[in-house]
Amino acid sequence: MAEISDIAKKFCFEGEYVSAAPFGSGHINDTFALVFEKNGDKIRYILQKMNKKVFPDTRILMHNVALVTEFLAEKIREKGGDCDRETLKLVRTRDGRSYYTAPDGGCWRAFLFVENTVAYQTVENPEMFEDTGRAFGTFISRLADFDASQLGEVIKNFHDTRDRYRKFEEALNADKVGRAAGVGKEISFVESRKEYCDRVVGMLERGEIPLRVTHNDTKLNNILIDADTKKAVCVIDLDTIMPGSLLYDFGDAIRFGCSTAAEDEKDLGKVDFDVRLFEAFTKGFLHGIGDSITQKERENLAFGAILMTYECGMRFLTDYLDGDNYFKTAYPEHNLVRCRTQFRLVELMEKRLEEMNLIVRKYAK
């Protein structure tokens, strides 16, 4: 890989380069925190090598990111907010581009570092998660008048659960690395719930719920939270912004945030679904989204959480069967371990679906 200090020279960073270190725990891009020094002050930046396998068309990816960040900055400015902190701000290359292509073909981009914030891996308390819900709800409502036709489809059929099921079947039939025999239980789990895959895509197709501009990857570590106040400051990881359903954003945040254990916890005894956190997030999200949510969307919010958790488990299983080509993994069973926590959460949510629906109704206006 090219030297980070050489890559850094291509961007309009302020001050003198001091150091770089890997940063964060995303599953997709290679992220670095860079330190610069100017007049004795330290300035940090985020530098990312984008994942070419996941996002083969960097031009479309960065076209979306640049458009959305500029649109959000304008909205935040109108409200008198701090647009360098409340949304990602791209640092352009010295020739004015949104990313740099290195001689080895690697594609790099940079953002201002949002200081004094934390990307949490688990929720600390319900108040924090309520505010996260508010921030994700507000994010969708801010994008309500964004012209979706300007956005390229960076990953085709990203949350099309029918297509995800087809890809699961393909990986199973190919059984490229001979892992299928060892995961019979997980395969049956996916197959026994196949009908889930039609529900939300069906509602979208029939026009029963609206297609909106959504984030599509709303896990807790994709929102930066103020280290002191614990208020959600900035929604990050805008790579998958595309037309989608609000159920995806609500559901994915619940999938990750309401688990009492890490996504890759090996001891399933530690994985529980925290319904108090579900209530906190729901309250904040409905507040943030305001009046624009429809009755049909509200009725399906809780199911959206089950669906996104099932989909994510299915994606981890598909990648496991495929030989770990998509998600970053630290050891051979990593994707399987992740799949198992997701399926445990699905079972727990299925048992509590009625209770979850009642909570949604409690906070509906």
Single out the residue of 4, 7, 28, 201 in contact with ligand GN1 (rule: CB under 6 A).
Answer: 28
**257 is a site residue for ligand ADP (CB under 6 A):** no
| 23 touches, from Mg ion, ligand ADP, ligand GN1, none (C-beta below 5 to 8 Å by class) | ligand ADP
- Residue given tokens 């399926």 in the structure block: 343
Stretch touching ligand ADP by CB under 6 A, among 6-14, 109-117, 252-260, 272-280 = 109-117
Do residues 214 and 146 make contact, with C-beta atoms less than 8 angstroms apart? no
**130 is a site residue for ligand ADP (CB under 6 A):** no
Do residues 341 and 258 make contact, with C-beta atoms less than 8 angstroms apart? no
Minimum distance from residue 234 beta carbon to Mg ion (Å): 13
Structure tokens at 358: 């009642």
Residues 39-78 that bind ligand GN1 (CB under 6 A): 54
Stretch touching ligand GN1 by CB under 6 A, among 33-41, 62-70, 216-224, 279-287 = 216-224
Q: How many residues does the chain have?
A: 365
Minimum distance from residue 26 beta carbon to Mg ion (Å): 4
Angle between helices 295-321 and 161-174 (to 10 degrees): 20
Q: Where are the beta strands (DSSP E) in 28-106?
A: 30-38, 41-49, 90-91, 100-101
As a whole number of angstroms, the distance between CA 107 and CA 7 comes to 10
As a whole number of angstroms, the distance between CA 62 and CA 151 comes to 10
Structure tokens at 133: 């819900």
Do residues 284 and 131 make contact, with C-beta atoms less than 8 angstroms apart? yes
As a whole number of angstroms, the distance between CA 264 and CA 129 comes to 20
Single out the residue of 8, 28, 62, 337 in contact with ligand ADP (rule: CB under 6 A).
Answer: 28
**Amino acid identity, position 20:** A
Single out the residue of 23, 27, 231, 260 in contact with ligand GN1 (rule: CB under 6 A).
Answer: 27
Do residues 11 and 92 make contact, with C-beta atoms less than 8 angstroms apart? yes
Residues 20-79 that bind Mg ion (CB under 5 A): 26
Minimum distance from residue 94 beta carbon to ligand GN1 (Å): 28
Stretch touching ligand GN1 by CB under 6 A, among 20-28, 223-231, 317-325, 357-365 = 20-28
Minimum distance from residue 180 beta carbon to ligand GN1 (Å): 22
Minimum distance from residue 334 beta carbon to ligand GN1 (Å): 11
Do residues 118 and 225 make contact, with C-beta atoms less than 8 angstroms apart? yes
Between 34 and 271, name the residue whose CB sits nearer to ligand ADP.
34
Which parts of this chain interact with Mg ion (CB under 5 A)?
26, 222, 237
Binding-site ranges for ligand ADP (CB under 6 A): 23-24, 26-29, 31, 46, 88, 111, 113-114, 119, 221-222, 224, 236-237, 239
